[in-house]
Amino acid sequence: MRTPTRHPRRWWLALVALLPSVVLGRPNRPEPVGDWTFQTDRPVKAVLVGGSVAAFPGKGFADQLQGACRNLEVRNLAVAKLSATAIRERFQRQVLDNPALAKGWGGQGPGWVFVLGGLNSVGNPELTNAEVLALYRAARKAGLKVLGLTLNPWGDESDPRWAGFEGVRRQDNTRRAVDFVMGRLTPEQALGRHANGQSRWEPGDLPDIAVDLYDSNLRDRNAPLRDEAPLRATVDSHPVTQARLKDLPPDQRAAMRERLIRQAVEIPRWYLRADLRSFDHIHPNREGHRLIALTICRKAPPEWGCDCAVLETPTTGGGR
């Protein structure tokens, strides 16, 4: 990862300085209802809602995607530090309650909402998924289509949250959120008690287009594996593994033990690539955002008018 010579975090600090005070990922005062409109005559309209990854200033993935898709205008409404609950609430106030958009997106007809967020609340993946589901449903009820983006790879060996088998817990929570967006889970698996007895997904519950950023070219597939010996030595004593193993019969316990060791060994290969990091191991740099835009572009419907070749040239120096 390139290290800039001066003020590597200046853009991020400037962004945070513009944000309202945040407590537990939610503004401490009500946000005004949106009163904005789209700015171009492009026929396909979209808004991006989410947290800090989506809120990347400058040439973020929404801006780069719009540059490659001649019919698409994307308005970026993402804000840093928001939980999934706060993202849903902000979507309601900034988009659905916006009087300027009350008549079909300024006369343009049904549009799209792009959703990328939830990392700030992924420690409770079932609640995070329930809030994202509520956003999807509200969007579909309003006649909008949904592009759902999974969380991107994140983590680092220097981060104690990922140490040893703690990393297994962290990755399992992340994967629960990822697999919900991709439609790989049942409602009970994705939502837990928030499923409220729902046993199958209904029309509109899942995105029209789902994009897996977690298992993508953002991921450090060639990272060195962890040393297996220390993990094997502590597998039976760590609280995470104890909880997984305690109620299993002996034959299943042995298989689960090996699965947990293997998962812990391979965790570095699910981190964000070092050359794609901005100021930490969570937020992609401009080159990472180019790859996000390219991944979306390859799933774009024809009416967006995309030329994905525009996004295939790497960004010089990665960018921040």
Express each pLDDT in 220-246 by its tens digit. Answer: 999 999 999 999 999 999 999 999 999
14: confidence class by pLDDT, cuts 50, 70, 90: very low
Q: What does the block give as tokens for 175?
A: 């994967």
Sign of CA dihedral 31, 33, 36, 42: positive
Q: What is the pLDDT of residues 32-72, one digit of tens each?
A: 999 999 999 999 999 999 999 999 987 999 999 999 999 99
Those residues with Cβ within 8 angstroms of residue 122's Cβ, 6 or more apart along the chain or in another chain: 128, 151, 173, 174, 177
Those residues with Cβ within 8 angstroms of residue 161's Cβ, 6 or more apart along the chain or in another chain: 155, 167, 170
- Reported residue count of the chain is 320
Closest CA to 129 of 80, 194, 81, 79: 194
C-alpha–C-alpha distance, residues 195 and 116, integer Å: 22
Q: What does the block give as tokens for 198?
A: 């729902």
Can you give the residue ranges of every domain in the chain? 32-163+170-221+272-311, 224-270
The model carries a pTM of 0.89
Domain 32-163+170-221+272-311: CATH architecture, name and number where available: 3-Layer(aba) Sandwich (3.40)
